[in-house]
Amino acid sequence: MTFFSSAAFAAFLFGVISSISLPIGALVGIFTRPSRTVISAVMSFGAGALMAAISFELVNPAVEREGGGFLPLAAGLLLGCIMFILLSRLADEKGAAARTRSTLLSNLRAKKRSQARKLLERLAAVDFLRALPAEQIQSLLPHLRRRVFHEGLPVFRQDGPGDSMYIIDTGSVKIEYTDADGQRVAVAELGDSQTFGEMSLVWHALRTADAIPSVDTVVYELHRDDFIQLAAANPGLEAAVAELAGERARTGKIPAAAISSAEWSRQAARRLDDNAYRPSETELKKALDVSSSSAATAIWLGLLLDGIPESLVIGASISGFSASPALIAGLFMANLPESLSSSTMMKESGTRPGRIMFMWTSLVLAVGVGALLGNLIAVILSPLAHSLFEGLAAGSMLAMIAQTMLPEAYERNIRMVGLFTVLGFIATVFFHTLV
């Protein structure tokens, strides 16, 4: 019983020691202005240190353990990786993506890509646009402006200039005109995802009817000048537009598209350029401001998610009242840059220093408790289950390195990543030689 209590206490103690670098890094981030190069260097150094610690203190013991071996370790690695990915995605959707610049950028980029795909589905309903080559259509997306028209205020009037087309996002629009006898004639009432005014893009004629919102209506507007400019700069698009315009002049209508709307939107989506959906600094700042005021709890839970695997690792590795210097040093060096980078982000978003320090200090206690629980679990496991458990923790940590630490280092300064990752790995190997 004494041995059990001392091991559990040791797990808690070493958990606290390994994570005490969290508030240290937070202090540095709050009271200094580390450059992007410095953040990249310490983040990649920490990633390399952690990879070496995982190799020496989890993978090797799990493989060599009698009754354990490769299969339970591999199963644990995959399970831990999948669990981390799913939980991280869930936390990010609740606001935890703002814990680092790279996770926030990735989250915003995914949202913009999703919005672009939904917009392509709506564009596919426009016969005229669907008649254009799907691979050319992505150039139009940045020029679609989101506008709001209030109930009863016309989007355009009969006999007005035809200079834009519109796609209804939400709401409804009545299309009606005044005939030669002065009578009002209703043509249609359009709703979500329907379009109007599209002929103005290729046939610059006066409007033949009024477009009047029945309720407050949100639309996407594509201006003719933008469309013509894009077509002139893109030979493929220009040729397609010229052909459609010629057909319209001969027959009075646009020919039917050769493929279905579903197939057209799929082809267009496959050709989306990810670089076109990288968030701007303005969008990033806006997202940070929103997160700082409404998602502090989610950010803390995201940080806790990053810390759970390391606490389990510490608990599982404790034997008696001792711990591996390589493991503790590796975790200490990995925690420092993570808190440094995240605290810098929080400070930039306007989070109060006291709140930042409370979040990181509370994580020290959480890691200590997690290490204690990890030890209590590990000591009652069979050799096979112990290897599975170590694989679970290692898989989670490797996924965290790949999804959080290295992307953050790349985002700050890609040139530093390779060198400092190797230096971090070497540092942990050095501590391992002290055993």
The residue written with tokens 């990915």 in the block is 85
The confidence band for 238, taking pLDDT boundaries of 50, 70 and 90, is low
Which of the listed ranges 129-138, 263-272, 274-283, 411-420 does the model predict with the highest average pLDDT? 411-420
Could you give the CA distance from residue 203 to residue 240 in angstroms, rounded to a whole number?
A: 14
pLDDT, residue 151, reads 92
Q: Which residues lie closer than 8 Å to 74 by C-beta, 6 or more apart?
A: 391
Q: What average pLDDT does this structure show over 401-408?
A: 85
Q: Which domain holds residue 412?
A: 2-95+295-433
Predicted confidence at residue 3, as pLDDT, reads 45
pLDDT value at residue 155 = 92
Q: What are 178's strand-pairing partners?
A: 184
Neighbours of 13 (CB within 10 A): 17
Q: Is the pLDDT of residue 8 over 90?
A: no
* Count of structural domains, the chain: 2
Query: CA 278, CA 263: separation in Å to the nearest integer?
Result: 26
Residue 237 sits in a domain whose CATH number is 2.60.120.10
Confidence of residue 187 (pLDDT cuts 50, 70, 90): confident
Residue type, 113: R
> What's the Cα-to-Cα distance from 300 to each of 34, 100, 106, 114, 282, rounded to whole Å?
22, 12, 18, 26, 24
Structure confidence by residue, pLDDT tens digits, 241-283: 666 666 655 665 555 666 777 777 777 777 776 666 777 767 7
Q: Average pLDDT over the chain, rounded to whole? A: 79
Q: What is d(CA 200, CA 100) in angstroms, rounded to the nearest whole number?
A: 45
Q: Which residues pair with 217 in a beta bridge?
A: 149
For residue 40, pLDDT beyond 70: yes
DSSP per residue, 363-415: HHHHHHHHHHHHHHHHTTS-HHHHHHHHHHHHHHHHHHIIIIIHHHHHHHHHH
CA distances from 202 to 124, 197, 264 (A): 17, 11, 20
In whole angstroms, give the CA distance from residue 25 to residue 342.
Answer: 9
pLDDT tens digits for range 209-223: 999 999 999 998 988
298: how many CB neighbours lie within 10 A of its CB? 20
Question: Is the predicted pLDDT of residue 127 greater than 60, yes or no?
Answer: yes
3-state secondary structure of 156: strand
- Shared domain check, 308 and 268: no
User: Does residue 415 share a domain with residue 322?
Assistant: yes
Report pTM.
0.65
For residue 108, what are its two tokens? 């915003």
Question: 69 in helix, strand or coil?
Answer: coil
Question: Is residue 293 predicted with pLDDT exceeding 60?
Answer: no
User: Is there a single domain that holds both residue 173 and residue 217?
Assistant: yes
pLDDT at 131: 67
pLDDT at 246: 65
Answer yes or no: do 261 and 301 share one domain. Answer: no
Cα separation, 13 vs 73, in Å, equals 27
SS3 65: coil
Chain center to CA of 178: 50
Q: What pLDDT, in 10s, does the model give residues 350-403?
A: 778 888 888 888 888 888 888 888 888 877 878 888 888 888 888 888 888 888
Domain shared by 378 and 422, yes or no: yes
Q: At what angle do helices 2-19 and 353-378 cross, to 10 degrees?
A: 150
230 and 263 both lie in a single domain: yes
Ranges 26-35, 167-176, 301-310: which has the least confidence = 301-310
* CA–CA gap between residue 192 and residue 195 (Å, rounded): 9
Averaged pLDDT for residues 195-201: 77
Confidence of residue 196 (pLDDT cuts 50, 70, 90): confident
Positive or negative: CA dihedral 323, 326, 330, 333? positive
Asked if residue 111 has pLDDT above 50, the reply is: yes
Mark whether 88 and 138 lie in a shared domain: no
- Mark which of 242, 277, 312 sits at the end of a domain: 277
In the predicted model, what is the mean pLDDT of residues 230-246?
67
Q: Are residues 264 and 341 in the same domain?
A: no
Given 228, 244, 277, which residue is the final one in a domain?
A: 277
Q: How confident is the model at residue 2 (pLDDT cuts 50, 70, 90)?
A: very low
Element (DSSP H or E) covering residue 164: strand 164-170
In this prediction, residues 322-348 reach a mean pLDDT of 74
Classified as helix, coil or strand, 217 is: strand
Q: Percent of the chain, pLDDT > 90?
A: 9
366 lies in a domain? yes
Q: What is the mean pLDDT of residues 28-57?
A: 84
Is 78 a residue whose pLDDT tops 90? yes
Local structure of residue 70 (DSSP, 8 states): H
- Measured between alpha carbons, how far is 390 from 63 in angstroms, rounded to an integer? 10
The listed range with the strongest mean pLDDT (91-100, 188-197, 294-303) is 188-197
Query: In the prediction, which pLDDT does 213 show?
Result: 94
User: Pairing mode, if any, of strands 210-213 and 173-178?
Assistant: antiparallel
* SS3 readout for 259-325: CCHHHHHHHHHHCCCHHHHCCCHHHHHHHHHHHHHHCHHHHHHHHHHHHHHHHHHHHHHCECCECCH
Same domain, 245 and 387: no
Q: Are residues 428 and 391 in the same domain?
A: yes
